[in-house]
A and B are shown apart, each in its own frame.
Chain A
Amino acid sequence: MVKVYSFWIFDKHCNCIYGFEYDSIKQKVHKVETDNHDMIAKSKILYGLVFSLTSLTTRYYYSNKITNESDDSLFPQKSNFRKITTGLYTVHTFKTETGLIFALLADLESGDSMDIELQYIYRQIYMNNVGLNPLAPLDYAETETEAKGKGFRQIKNDNFDKELYNFLEPLL
């Protein structure tokens, strides 16, 4: 049985806009909130890991590129990694075309990929509750100063919380 430790969403401004971690000892969920410094620090570390590995893999891919007619300044070739495995856990990531990153920390039994789960979260849960909701903010960094990883706003949506917990609860 797969066991999920935590789940995160990052936006294109390098901010963590959603995240929670399940504490199996206290049977409690820690959410990323403005006053929860512990979780914010964790989110920054995870983003740093994802970001630096993405730039590394992209650079490696570029060096092998075959030139053709394509206009690379407009449409760069992207190469996103799907998972990192350590001796203790696996980080599964899914980057959307619009720059969102969905990350899922799970144990080693999660196998090759949890793409289906991540895509379901994106296509069904996120899209229906947050993405298509005209009242949700378009951009979680409202000003320039909140970009580049200095933002503090999070998704606040009860339906989204509920559906996400319903989906992930058997895995926690």
Chain B
Amino acid sequence: MTFKDSIGDLFGYDPVSGPQIVDLVNLNKDEDILSAFNDTDNIFNSNEITNTVSVSYAPTNSITSTKVSSNNQITAEKQFNVQGEVSTSAYIFVLLEFIKMVVVDCTELEDHDQKLREIGEDVGFKLLELVKFKSTVPAILPTAVLNEKLLTYKHTSNIKNSSSVDISQTPKAVDIYKHIFLTSSLSSKNIQTSNTSLKDLKKLSILEFIHGPIWRYMFGKKADDIQQLKNNSLEYIIIDNDPLLSSLVLTSQINEFICGIIKSCVVNSGFECFEVTAHVMEKDDPDWPNKTVYVIKFVK
């Protein structure tokens, strides 16, 4: 067993003859490199979108595992930990506990509802940004088309027939952005991409945005209706027949929180909003005992 055999093929480097200049052309002909480059099992070549990648290293005490060109030295374990959803009870537990903290511990406050509304506004501000970003992802390419396109960036051609790397196939900046957009919108599969422009100049369009994408992002469904109160052109209502965050206790406090979210969405879109209030319509419809109406009052 020679010295060279024992340490293996080091990327074309021959330890006996010493360093030498390797042409790019020669490198392209190296089957090990090309096969590593085209190996679909290699996580770095993967065109599948993974949120998290767990890489566990093989033991390095054996000589073969230190071989650079070996494909198996990194056993990459793909984990699809796309956590789209958690249980509602977990959310309610956390929310109720913090509401209790605000009500019981913040004794120096006079208006606890005001504090809860402020927390809601904080959440609403972030939600608006997030949902707007996700819903304005250009809906040009469906996933399948994009994946196909990304595949062409790699060298899918047969190694034996052509062994040169075509640099012109590297992705353009635009395509990379699309890829990033797609990755970021993956966790929000609830949101349908819409053509809502970044400037929502009409009152109704921002209300529709809340009623549609934001509601679907938060609760996984649309709100049930938007109406304009007849006697007042500045008052609109959003109706939810069966609110997801309905709890038998502390309903008014939870509603204050949601009102804060709505108000913040309206205000941060550039409208002056006087107040948002919530009313539970218990006796309105026997089918929906928890039917809740959110009244949004604009300032002229």
Contacts and interface: CB of A to CB of B under 8 A. Distances in A.
Interface of A: 128-129, 132-135, 159
B248 A134 contact: no
B106 interface: no
B242 to A, nearest CB: 16
A153 B99 CA distance: 25
B169 to A, nearest CB: 57
Contacts of B100: 134-135
B249 interface: yes
Interface string B230-258: 00000000000000000111100000000
Nearest to B104: A135
Contacts of B97: 134
Contacts of B96: 132, 134
A128 B249 CA distance: 9
Interface residues of B, number: 10
21 contacts: A128-B248, A129-B248, A129-B249, A132-B92, A132-B93, A132-B96, A132-B247, A132-B248, A132-B249, A133-B248, A133-B249, A134-B96, A134-B97, A134-B99, A134-B100, A134-B249, A134-B250, A135-B100, A135-B249, A135-B250, A159-B248
Nearest to A157: B249
Interface in B106-139: none
A132 B247 CA distance: 9
A72 to B, nearest CB: 32
B245 to A, nearest CB: 13
Interface of B is mostly: helix
B103 to A, nearest CB: 8
Interface of A is mostly: loop
Contacts of A128: 248
A123 to B, nearest CB: 13
Interface of B: 92-93, 96-97, 99-100, 247-250
Contacts of B248: 128-129, 132-133, 159
A108 B99 CA distance: 47
A47 B250 CA distance: 34
A141 to B, nearest CB: 20
A166 to B, nearest CB: 14
Contacts of B247: 132
A129 B250 CA distance: 11
A128 B92 CA distance: 12
A128 B246 CA distance: 11
B252 to A, nearest CB: 13
A16 to B, nearest CB: 24
A133 B251 CA distance: 11
Contacts of A159: 248
Nearest to B89: A132
Task: Indicate the member of B92, B97, B249 with the most A CB atoms within 10 Å.
Answer: B249
A64 to B, nearest CB: 39
Contacts of B92: 132
A134 B96 CA distance: 7
Contacts of A133: 248-249
A34 B247 CA distance: 30
Contacts of A132: 92-93, 96, 247-249
Contacts of B249: 129, 132-135
10 closest A-B pairs by beta carbon, nearest first, are A134-B100, A134-B96, A133-B249, A128-B248, A134-B97, A129-B248, A159-B248, A135-B100, A135-B249, A134-B250
Nearest to B100: A134
A142 to B, nearest CB: 16
Nearest to A160: B248
